[in-house]
Amino acid sequence: MHTADLRALHRLMLVARRLDEEAIALQRQGVFPAYAPAKGQEAAQVGSAAALDLNRDFAFPGYRDIGAAVAMGVDLVAYLATHLNTWHGGLYDPRTSRLAPINAVVGGPVTHAVGWAMGAKLDQTGGAAISYFGDGASSQGDVHEAMNFAGVYQLPVVFFCQNNGWAISVPTERQVAGGSVAARAAGYGIEGHRVDGNDVVAVFEATRAALDRARDGGGPTVIEAMTYRVGPHSTSDDPGRYRTLEDEQAWTDRDPLAVAAKQLSADDVAAAEEHAAAVVREIREGLQASAAPDAAELFSFVYREPTKALLEQQRAWKESLDA
């Protein structure tokens, strides 16, 4: 997407919201072992991912970035099939989709994005990387090392922090020294900006500017999208143990979908709801029809050359099937 199109962005956000709700329902039904809800963060994810040039850029997600997958046009059946826990790495094609596999390591996608950006600079591909992480992940040493490295080598990478207010049960003010992730950028000699993470157009514009700057050799940027995690950290979490309903209710009027819908016609919103319902139905049916991959693949993609220990594990596994 070259320019911000609120109608199209709202349509994508609504698909992300309804798929997120469906994923929670599937977890409650025992289909998914676990799931990390993204409600409230749709504008941050969709707005940033929609700004990518999928012919040359690459995105590195965490485990709560379904909106980015939607905006990038990833095969959503294959994306959500990752949560079935039947394969180790994701069933969609990262190279084609330009979205790296879901990464459950806190802060893990940040170092991967910097490595890709280094390669892009050396190969002069003209592309930029974007890395997704949360305010809690920003306290990881990996994030410091990644930002410092990117600053030293002026790499084409955007560090996109979704500050949703909570590192599981710990509020941002108790684990982010100085109160701002974006402000840390100055210490690495790179750009840093805060943006309203519930305003999808503002997120799109900020990310597009950062990506353009990165591709033009201007170096990295830290974007801190201020948003809110409306639901639990995961489907095994109870946010009622560490925050009040009043706190959650205070964010209702800032719901990114409601903010966008106020600027659209009722017909636009109704059409988007109809489209989202059709997408969810298609994805649900696709997941129900999907078959588990061959279990033998568990040993196929761990190392380029299998180790002695891995071959021994494979032998023991095969013997257990024959027992």
Q: Is 61:134 a contact under the CB 8 Å cutoff?
A: no
Strands (E), 41-153: 58-60, 129-134
- Contact indicator for 77, 288 with CB cutoff of 8 Å: no
Q: How many CB atoms lie within 10 A of CB 296?
A: 11
Rounded Cα gap, residues 256 and 5, in angstroms = 15
**Residue numbers annotated as active site:** 229, 233, 242
What are the phi and psi torsion angles at 158 (to 5°)?
A: -110, 120
The answer to whether residues 271 and 24 touch, using CB atoms and an 8 Å cutoff, is no
Element (H, E) at 161: strand 157-163
Distances (CA, A) of 64 to 104, 106, 248, 266: 9, 11, 19, 29
